Structure 1
Amino acid sequence: MLTSRLRRRSRFQLLEKLAISVSLLACVGCLGYLFQLSASFFDSPLPDPDVSLIRPHYPGLDQYDSSREEEVESEFTNLKLQDELSDTGTTFVDSQQLEDGRSESESLSKIRHDNEPISRVAFGSCTSRRAIRQPIWSQGIIASAPQAWIWAGDIAYMDWPDVNCKANPDHFQCNCSRDWLHVNRQTCLAGDVPHAREKLEVQLQNPDYKEFVRYMCPNMSSGPQDLALCSKPILGTWDDHDYNWQDGDKRLPTKEEQKHLFLDAFGVPSESPRRIKDRGIYWKHTLNEGIQGKEIDVILLDERFDRDSKPCEIRREFCKLVAGPDPRKYKHEWCKDFLSGGTDGRGSCCSKDERIWAGWCKLNPQLGDDELWEAACNPASKMYGIPGLEIDTSSGAPFRSGLTLNSKNGEGVLCEVLGVQQRAWLQDELYKSRAPLKLIVSGSPVFNNPEDFVCGKALKWRPAVNCSCFDDYDCYRPAQMNLLHLMAHAPGCVVVLTGDFHFSDIKVLQPGKKSYSDAYNSFHLPRPVYQVMASGLTTDTAQKVTCDGYRVDKLGFRPGGECAFVSGPAFGMIEIDWDAPEQLVKLQVRDEFGEVQLESTLKLDTCSTG
């Protein structure tokens, strides 16, 4: 995509060549011709380099318009999934190849090598479902002077319609046949790539976000187009809405197209491994590379591309008793597929955790020293879920199939969030890293609230139905425990950056006997795991809410108490004091004005709180 400046420059060059080539004797005639030619060039409308496809209207005030809210019947009674609706999107940064063959990480570190070490990394998630102003970029984020920015998911709500489907049920964006992907009129656009492109472009064209990009990338007009190579890098991964399917998993039919669309928005080079077919967008960037003892590894996880369907046991009762019997329910078609659909007609739900973790492993504890048992049953082991493990369909026992890491036919022995290839990659990157600080960017919270909650109200003919998780790692317990142990045993200190839930908080999972240690198998962790959730950059996604329901931390993760969270627009900030003897790291949640609302400090030399 050429900018207006480049186009004008090329046109001036053409005029100069024409002027030089004419005879001096015909100068007057040529000048008349050139005047007409230049007039035709500059009178014709030139495309605004920052506008493509859509010119949205942005209301002057960033106010939540409740009249536009679609009253979606959620599968839960108190769930954040009830508040989904919007508009969004704009200009794509052109993909470009790196001329010298360097990796993206190498190029990023090269740009920062001669500058002061990065010590202020901001991050956030969940923009807006509607085309509204986003003042947090200027009055909060730019004002806080970040040296890098990380997207933790939902840069745009690409699966959301442009209209209020409740008020316009016959609108083409709201009128579709229901199935497991399009569960109701509000989700008719899930997987629709052209619509996703428009929504993304609206967000990228948002005037407040454009101001932020200009601040981070002042060299954008003449320098590299890869946002990771800006003087203040912009990095990121996706969650469900920028994956283009709410609560989506690996079954999205258009996930390859969606992947390229997302990477285009960041200007990821066309030859990047992230664009390889059948591979997710996971990646590692190293900030301050070459400055020994001050490196920051930014590890971007992809938790959608290879995610298995939800495990059978976490929604079976809900589907059988609540949504399955009633065609009017929001999740009715999804539940039909969950219980009795899929490729074999036995349900699309993932049965591996139930068959192996809660089945074979519990029945065979005497095999604790066996390598096969270790690989299939011990999430704390480095061998857990290694490539080549399969489930015998007749006996239900695990066995070694001989498949390699690159095999795509293996079912594996656990319900995956990352997938076997990404898990192996992550383990390798974490254990070979010498960065004292590792930022793991996860679209889904890695630990959240392991307590049951009511997801189906009690009726006269049945009791209330409980569920144990939303759409995060709490639904995938073996995968969750494996990730927690992997992070806690890695060299250096690990901080998870996440979003998704439309409020913000800081949590710490501590070793030793805690109220949650059994649920997370965390008693023997060698060090804490820190998690900062910054979710909701506008009043559309982050409304003022009270401390109740799933927002209450009953188990003691929050250092500031059970109601220590921020509602309303917010973002996260990681501040590192490299000159302090202990190299102090401040984990912060800041409000829309850049004021620190929550803060915890850890020491890099011990990974303990200060």
Structure 2
Amino acid sequence: MPRLLLTILLAWLLPGQLWAQGAPAPLTRIAFGSCADEEKPQPIWDAVMAYRPELFLFAGDNVYGDVRNGRNVPDEDLIASLQESYLQASKLPGLMRLRTTIPTLATWDDHDYGKNDAGADFAGRHAAQRLFLQFWDVPRSDPRHTRDGVYHAQTFGPEGQRVQVILLDTRFFRSPLKPTDARNAPGKERYLPDDDPTKTMLGAEQWQWLADRLREPAELRLIVSSVQVVAEGHGWERWGNFPRERQHLYDLVRETGANGVVFISGDRHVGGLYRETNSTPYPLVEITASGLNQVFPGNREAGPNRLGAVYGAANFGTVDVDWWEGEVALSLRNEAGEVVRRTSVRLADLRTPEPAR
């Protein structure tokens, strides 16, 4: 078979897997999602596979392993429930087809951490981490086996077209949240912003690790946070519950000169697109894809920095990178794979301004 024809055939069969002169081809098609209940049908995997992603990112609540509607449930019972959920998930044909076909990376949220809205106060977190690493086939040589937390980073692609994926752990080290004083009131549904300087989202060790990763070279950085980062207008879990920590994140992007940051999140059971320019190094865009089968059709929120309406049916997110035009398209797709929300950013706009001379 002529070499050119063979190359074209391989490019169609194996998108993103070709190697040219020993260097990997750049990533151009990335999919992600969150909030997948293993006890419910998950037909959305057909649409995900039809999109033909080169990488899939699991943004948390990848199973629902906590004891639902339980009060004062012993931690050992929570871990037993989580173990059973992973077992159920391992028998889902769509999920397993994805995992055996497409490279994947994962972080967790509360329901695969083991307890609703839990943070560092969850006594079962070490056992939950062992189950997480086992389910996601993390090699024994990986540092996540010898340190606390499931945070992880990996860079793909050749110089000039590198995608750095940073998966944060917003559970293991997180301080307690401040309860609302008006439960279910708009904007104050569960929690209130807490300005306590001793509160942390990531913990000191993870913060230092993140600073080191942001100093590494990359042209596009996908920071995966299980809970929303820039989103405003609601009182559920989000980085805005610790405004000092969120500002620290923005400042860290500026101080490290980390260009190309885009936030990916889940958790909410609705999808949405967001953009923030207040106290940020450059316009920071967030895409929330939630959920793969756990949804909240009746959701209403103010969304002062949201781009358009939320999307309350089953969805997954996609990131399409046009390296040659320097543009990144962020899309929410429905169960049929159709684009239902979309925005785009130019890589040239995701750059920290040069200091004045």
TM normalised by structure 1 equals: 0.50
Cα distance in 1 for partners of 2:77, 2:123 equals: 7
Work out whether residues 488 and 494 of structure 1, in 8 Å CA contact, stay in contact via their aligned partners in 2: no
- Alpha carbons of 1:606 and 1:447: their partners in 2 closer, same or farther (altered >3 Å)? closer
Q: How do residues 361-510 of structure 1 correspond to structure 2 at under 5 angstroms?
A: 413-430=197-214, 432-450=215-233, 469-489=235-255, 490-510=257-277
- The alpha-carbon distance between structure 1 residues 600 and 318, as it changes in their structure 2 partners (threshold 3 A), is closer
Q: Which residue does 1:274 correspond to in 2?
A: 144
After TM superposition, give the deviation of residue 318 of structure 1 in Å. Answer: 5.6
Bigger Rg, structure 1 or 2 = 1
Structure 2 Cα separation of the partners of residues 447 and 191 of structure 1? 35
Matched, 1:607 2:355: no
Within a 5 Å distance, the mapping from 1:249-264 to structure 2 comes to: 249-264=119-134
In structure 2, the residue matched to 1:248 is 118
Q: In structure 2, give the amino acid aligned to 1:440.
A: I
Instruction: Spell out the pairing of 1:72-87 with structure 2 (5 A cutoff).
Output: none
Q: What secondary structure sits across from 1:542 in the alignment?
A: coil
Q: Which has the higher strand share?
A: 2
2:83 corresponds in structure 1 to 197
Which residue, 324, 327, 330 being the options, matches 1:584? Answer: 327
* Maintained 8 Å contact 1:414/1:478: no
The SS at the match of 1:439 is strand
Report the alpha carbon displacement of residue 252 of structure 1 after superposing the two structures with TM: 1.3
User: In the aligned structure 2, how far is the partner of 1:423 from the partner of 1:589?
Assistant: 30
Q: Of 132, 146, 158, which aligns to 2:40?
A: 132
Shift of residue 433, structure 1, vs aligned partner: 1.9
Q: Distance in 1 between matches of 2:207 and 2:266?
A: 21
Q: How does 1:346-361 map to 2 (within 5 A)?
A: 353-354=195-196
Q: Note the aligned Cα RMSD (angstroms).
A: 2.8
What's the CA shift for 1:414? 2.4
Unaligned stretches of 5+ residues in structure 2: 1-16, 184-189, 352-357
Three-state SS of the structure 1 residue aligned to 2:349 is coil
* Post-superposition offset of 1:236: 1.0
Counterpart in the other structure of 2:159: 292
Q: Which structure 2 residues correspond to residues 197-236 of structure 1 after superposition, within 5 A?
A: 197-216=83-102, 233-236=103-106
What is the count of residue pairs matched by the alignment?
Answer: 328
| Mapped pair 1:146 → 2:44 | no
Q: Is the 2:250–2:281 Cα contact (8 Å) retained in structure 1?
A: no
Query: How far does the alpha carbon of each residue in 1:53-92 deviate from its partner, in whole angstroms, 9 at most, with x for none?
Result: xxxxxxxxxxxxxxxxxxxxxxxxxxxxxxxxxxxxxxxx
Note if contact 1:300-1:441 (Cα within 8 Å) is conserved in structure 2. yes
TM-score between the two structures when normalised by the length of structure 2:
0.84
Counterpart CA distance in 2 for 1:287 and 1:110 is: 13
SS at match of 1:470: coil
SS across alignment from 1:601? strand
Alpha-carbon deviations, 1:506-551, whole Å to 9, x = none? Answer: 10102xxxxxx4xxxx2xx33111100000111xx114336x3x2x
Query: Match of 1:566, SS?
Result: coil
Give CA deviations for 1:306-355 in whole Å, capped at 9, x if unaligned: 111124xx54x469xxxxxxxxxxx9xxxxxxxxxxxxxxxxxx99x44x
Q: Deviations over 1:470-508 (max 9, x none)?
A: 222121111111112223553321111000000001101
Structure 2: how far apart are the matches of 1:214 and 1:310?
38
Residue identity opposite 2:247 in structure 1: M
Larger helix percent: 1
Answer yes or no: is the 8 Å Cα contact 1:191–1:254 preserved in 2.
Answer: no
Q: Read off the aligned partner of 2:337 and give its amino acid letter.
A: G
Superposed CA offset, 1:267-313 (max 9, x none): 11123211224x2111111111xx111001100100111111124xx
